[in-house]
Amino acid sequence: MKNFLTILFFIFVTSCVSNPEKSKSNKYLSAKDNDSLEIMIEKDIYNSVDLYPIPLSSQEAPSNIYNLPAPNQFFSSDNKNEVRLHRLGEIRWIYLSIEPSKSWPMLQEYIVGNDKYNLEKADPVSGEVTTKSFKRDGIDNKILFRVERGLQRESSEIFISHLVLKNNFWIKSANESDFITEVSTEFLEGMSSMGAVSGTSLIALNLNAKDKTEVFIDENGLSKIRLMVSFPRAWTATQRSLKIAKFNVIDFDRDSGSFFIDIKSSEGFFRTSRLNLKVLVKKISENESIISVAMEEMDLELAKEIISQINQVLS
């Protein structure tokens, strides 16, 4: 009898354990409906504004209701520790493949270690570094360095200007070609000799955020690129980008800001045609330009792809 009761108790316990509804992970199987959401939150949910409504199955949803905006394109600089001297007309700048917050201490280190110049002022907000005045040809001179974020991500551009004292005002020298070339060359050699840099300046982190390129969509749904540079530089950068991206530029007109492009377009499985379109560079202000695409029959997807390829080279 004792053995029989033991077996019966074992069977009872086993049946309870094996019941899926009594398992902790399956508690939801025995869950019951609670009060309605309106009672729980004490609010009429039907009079609430639904910012993200789900359309009824019988209602035809707009074609673009679930189209999420594409994320911003980000491309990093391929070449590390690269230093180059660029020139566009009278404008000269040094390109470094590091962020401005890293080139900022390098610039100050160069000036402090240079026998010709002494550091007067360094403003991390504006990115400007000024040397103390020095005599040259009987005139007071200064060198102004300005650090900016480059067109490419994780890059810096350091612009060099020669200032002279005239009527108690520091102005940009009108005759600076030979001297500024000498200063730029020495600066290029000095920055190149510093080698790899791992440190960064916390007070100059704001310089990293001043992006010079931005892809945006206008009111007509057309993708464009905003460049925070002058028209001459935007034109040169676009010309270089089209060449690197291997677009077939058949002609260009700088006065109208137009590049004439010839590309192939698929019309079907066995048919292709050629499209003639234009890449336009338009001056908005002294330091702002817009790159866009124009064609006879606008194809938004094609224009978006062209802008994306140009932006990839720029960025």
In the three-class reduction of DSSP (H, G, I as helix; E, B as strand; rest coil), residue 9 is classed as: helix
In a domain, 239, yes or no: yes
Do 172 and 269 belong to one domain?
Answer: no
Is 282 within 8 Å of 288 (Cβ atoms)? no
Summarize the confidence of residues 132-156 as an average pLDDT.
Answer: 88
Q: What is the tens place of the pLDDT at every residue in 15-45?
A: 555 555 556 666 666 767 666 655 655 556 5
Summarize the confidence of residues 124-150 as an average pLDDT.
Answer: 90
Do 163 and 259 belong to one domain?
Answer: no
In a domain, 58, yes or no: no
Please tell me the predicted confidence (pLDDT) of residue 288. 92
Please tell me the predicted confidence (pLDDT) of residue 291. 94
Is 92 within 8 Å of 145 (Cβ atoms)? no
25 vs 13: CA distance, rounded Å: 19
Do 230 and 166 belong to one domain?
Answer: no
Query: How many domains would you assign to the chain?
Result: 2
123: domain CATH number?
Answer: 3.30.310.220
Of the candidates 141, 172, 207, which is a domain's last residue? 207
214 pLDDT above the threshold of 70? yes
Of 3-12, 231-240, 294-303, the least confident: 3-12
Q: What is the tens place of the pLDDT at every residue in 218-232?
A: 888 899 999 998 899
- Pull the structure tokens for residue 206: 């704001």
Of the candidates 160, 189, 207, which is a domain's last residue? 207
18 vs 28: CA distance, rounded Å: 16
Do 217 and 160 belong to one domain?
Answer: no
Where are the strands (E) in the chain, listed by range?
A: 83-88, 91-96, 119-123, 128-131, 134-136, 139-149, 156-166, 169-172, 213-217, 223-227, 249-253, 258-266, 272-285, 288-294
Of the candidates 207, 238, 272, which is a domain's last residue? 207
225 vs 304: CA distance, rounded Å: 10
Please tell me the predicted confidence (pLDDT) of residue 14. 55
In a domain, 67, yes or no: no
Q: Which residue did the predictor score with more confidence, 6 or 161?
A: 161
Please tell me the predicted confidence (pLDDT) of residue 227. 92
Do 256 and 281 belong to one domain?
Answer: yes
Do 104 and 196 belong to one domain?
Answer: yes
Q: What is the tens place of the pLDDT at every residue in 193-208?
A: 876 666 788 888 888 8
Q: How confident is the model at residue 52 (pLDDT cuts 50, 70, 90)?
A: low
241 vs 261: CA distance, rounded Å: 13
Domain housing 131? 83-207
12 pLDDT above the threshold of 60? no
Reference 194, options 260, 89, 111; nearest CA is 111
309: domain CATH number?
Answer: 3.30.310.170
78 pLDDT above the threshold of 80? no
